[in-house]
Amino acid sequence: MTETAPQSAAARRILLGKVGLAATDAVILVTLGLFTLLALAFRESVQDWSLLVAKNLGVSIAVLASANFAPRIRAPSGRFLLRTATVTLSFAYLFEAVAGLQLVLHGRFLDDVVLAFEERLFGVQPTVWLEPFIRPPLTEWLMFCYVVYLPLYPVLCAILWVRRGEAAVEEYFFILGLTNVLCDVGFILFPVAGPLYWIPGRYSAPLDGGVFTWAGELIRSRAHFAGGSIPSPHAAVATVMWVMTWKHYRPAFWALSPVILSLYVSTFYCRYHYVTDLVVGIATAALAALVAPPLLRVWDRLAGGHGVTK
């Protein structure tokens, strides 16, 4: 590592029994607990609620086991790989777990509200209005930006770890955790199915392209589900990535700028989201970045008396 950051509050750990938990671990475990309570409280309307509870318990145990085992790994690279895998897979699981909880409050998707709002605001539905501008090269570029978001998760972790040390990576994880959780809660508070689930008949122009368009459609068909739309997790997490590179490694910020800006457009051009989802996603990331410092100060005070710093 060429530089190291001072020990940060996000990297401090509070002992839970003999297991040292970082702030991000707490975010993950609390969210799993919340999802479990919702599944139990609304079990009549949550499909396979008992399986969801069991899976939540299993992931919680895995997070605790990883937190317990990681300090025993002497090689920093080994600790980094385990930590990155644990956190990123936990975030992915939370996105999957919220799918069955989206309608527990409203009982239906609220796309009609978003459509009415956007048509009053713009005079058109932007995702449909864009159809005359769809071209295969543009589609391929925007699909590339949408798909590259997935490998950027661990790649940016590695860049931060090499350039700024483990403390910077933990700060990144914590803000990502808050952002992901805010998005997941948003799916429940205001469930939106998404354009291709709600208004598929309004699209006539195909999204043709190359390998990245194929990959994007594969992700849509295999990993996506109706909902998970507002706030846009892609826009929210991409914003966190952009902010963290600005703070810790400016060359990566400038290199990512055209990709992030294009990713914003891709969310509604490629019909994954409405424009409203994009705007709320960016605002969600801004909120997470704003509340993270005071939350970490509280965590630091708690860790100061009863925690460990490894």
Q: How far apart are CA 6 and CA 147, in angstroms?
A: 33
In this structure, is residue 87 part of a structural domain?
Answer: yes
In this structure, is residue 195 part of a structural domain?
Answer: yes
pLDDT bucket at 164, cuts 50 / 70 / 90? confident
45: nearest Cα among 99, 96, 104? 104
pTM of the model: 0.90
Looking at residues 285-290, what average pLDDT do you find? Answer: 95
Looking at residues 97-107, what average pLDDT do you find? Answer: 94
**What was the pLDDT predicted at 9?**
67
| DSSP reduced 3-state for 270 | coil
Note whether 15 and 306 are within 8 A (CB).
Answer: yes
Structural domain tally of the chain? 1
Looking at residues 150-164, what average pLDDT do you find? Answer: 87
- Structural domain harbouring 236: 9-308
89: nearest Cα among 157, 34, 148? 157
Looking at residues 224-241, what average pLDDT do you find? Answer: 92
In this structure, is residue 1 part of a structural domain?
Answer: no
In this structure, is residue 3 part of a structural domain?
Answer: no
Is 51's pLDDT higher than 70?
yes
In this structure, is residue 99 part of a structural domain?
Answer: yes
In this structure, is residue 2 part of a structural domain?
Answer: no
What confidence tens digit (pLDDT) does each residue in 7-44 have? Answer: 566 667 877 777 888 899 999 999 999 999 999 999 99
**What was the pLDDT predicted at 3?**
41
Q: Which two tokens stand for residue 181?
A: 């959780």
What confidence tens digit (pLDDT) does each residue in 177-214 have? Answer: 999 999 999 999 999 999 999 999 999 999 999 999 99
In this structure, is residue 4 part of a structural domain?
Answer: no
Q: Which amino acid is at 92?
A: A
In this structure, is residue 38 part of a structural domain?
Answer: yes
